[in-house]
């Protein structure tokens, strides 16, 4: 028979073990905080290391080195159907749509890099599986050009062994492009960037995600609920100010696209989602 001091010690030990077990059970059952991913807008360009060059190979490489969840970039197409990585439809005063690739192949970005083709960009993209490629297919001057560019982008992914929904996703302001992706490659995340269509409208055409400007959610507070009800991913662009970043965190979007990815990382802390 245990003496009184030993009984007291045993009871104290059992109570401590029971409390520890209960605490572990409560923590295991508690809902985990919603993780939010970071997409570096046009790559991690806003720094000296990238030479402040948007859509550059250096900006993509730096986004990969920092292991941001995503690196967003823009695709245009030349008159002879070569996809280039550039935001505007003009480069150094020349229309990309109306000139052949020959007119641009010797042109450089502000950091001295040649303007990248989509092939150039995907070669770098393949070097890291920690950063997804967020490919924005830019609206072209007609739907025929958009269809050709979309098909060429899909073929380029196959050529570079990147035809993988875990490595690439699509965004576009062109409803036509989003519909074509939904038809040709429905397995990929495919987000509409415009604010003129609700998630419910987009879902009817097989578009499985939204990427609205952050102000759009304030004007349409029910659209996140609509998107969730239709099992759509919910991203937002382009969020650079601390107060706006906090607002998007509170709304529990899936991804924040930003020119200030280090700031978003700091504000998210342990809630940052990664691949």
pLDDT tens digits, one per residue of 218-236:
899 899 999 999 999 999 9
Predicted local distance difference test score (pLDDT) of residue 33: 80
pLDDT at residue 221 in the model: 86
Per-residue model confidence (pLDDT) at position 27: 42
Domain that holds residue 211: 35-267
Q: Is residue 17 part of a domain?
A: no
Flag whether 239 is in a domain. yes
The count of domains in the chain is: 1
Residue 72 lies in a domain: yes
Q: How far apart are CA 117 and CA 85, in angstroms?
A: 6
Domain-embedded: residue 10: no
Evaluate whether residue 77 is within a structural domain. Answer: yes
List the chain residues with pLDDT less than 50. Answer: 1, 22-24, 26-30
Q: How much is the pLDDT for 218?
A: 87
C-alpha distances out from residue 158 to 57, 152, 162, 168, 236, Å: 20, 10, 6, 11, 28
**Whole-number pLDDT of residue 14:** 56
Assess if residue 21 is contained within a domain.
Answer: no
> Which residues, including other chains, have CB under 8 Å from residue 154's CB and lie 6 or more apart?
163, 184, 185
Q: Does residue 192 sit within a domain?
A: yes
Average pLDDT, the chain: 93
Q: What's residue 13's pLDDT? A: 59
Specify if 2 maps to a domain: no
CATH number of the domain encompassing residue 90: 3.20.20.190
Q: Could you report the per-residue pLDDT of 105-157, keeping only the tens digit for each?
A: 999 999 999 999 999 999 999 999 999 999 999 999 999 999 999 999 999 99
Residues 65, 68, 74: CA angle, nearest 5 degrees: 95
């Amino acid at each position: 028979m245990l003496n009184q001091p030993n009984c007291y010690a045993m009871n104290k030990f059992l109570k401590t073990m029971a409390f520890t077990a209960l605490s572990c059970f409560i923590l295991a059952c508690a809902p985990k905080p919603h993780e939010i991913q970071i997409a570096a807008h046009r790559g991690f360009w806003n720094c000296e290391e990238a030479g402040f060059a948007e859509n550059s190979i250096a900006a993509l490489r730096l986004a990969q080195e920092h292991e941001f969840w995503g690196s967003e970039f823009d695709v245009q197409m030349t008159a002879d159907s070569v996809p280039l990585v550039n935001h505007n439809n003009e480069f150094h005063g020349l229309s990309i749509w109306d000139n052949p690739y020959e007119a641009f192949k010797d042109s450089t970005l502000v950091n001295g890099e040649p303007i990248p083709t989509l092939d150039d960009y995907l070669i770098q993209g393949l070097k890291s599986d920690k950063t997804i490629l967020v490919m924005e297919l830019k609206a072209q001057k007609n739907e025929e050009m958009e269809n050709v560019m979309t098909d060429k982008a899909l073929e380029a992914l196959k050529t570079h062994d990147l035809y993988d929904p875990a490595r690439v996703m699509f965004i576009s302001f062109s409803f036509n492009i989003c519909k074509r992706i939904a038809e040709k490659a429905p397995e990929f995340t495919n987000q509409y960037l415009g604010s003129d269509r609700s998630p419910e409208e987009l879902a009817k055409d097989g578009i499985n995600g939204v990427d609205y400007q952050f102000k759009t959610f304030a004007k349409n507070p029910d659209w996140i609920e609509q998107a969730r009800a239709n099992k759509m991913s919910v991203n937002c662009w382009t969020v650079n100010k601390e107060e706006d970043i906090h607002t998007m965190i509170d709304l529990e979007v899936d991804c924040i696209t930003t020119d200030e990815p280090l700031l978003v990382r700091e504000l998210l802390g342990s809630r940052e989602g990664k691949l």
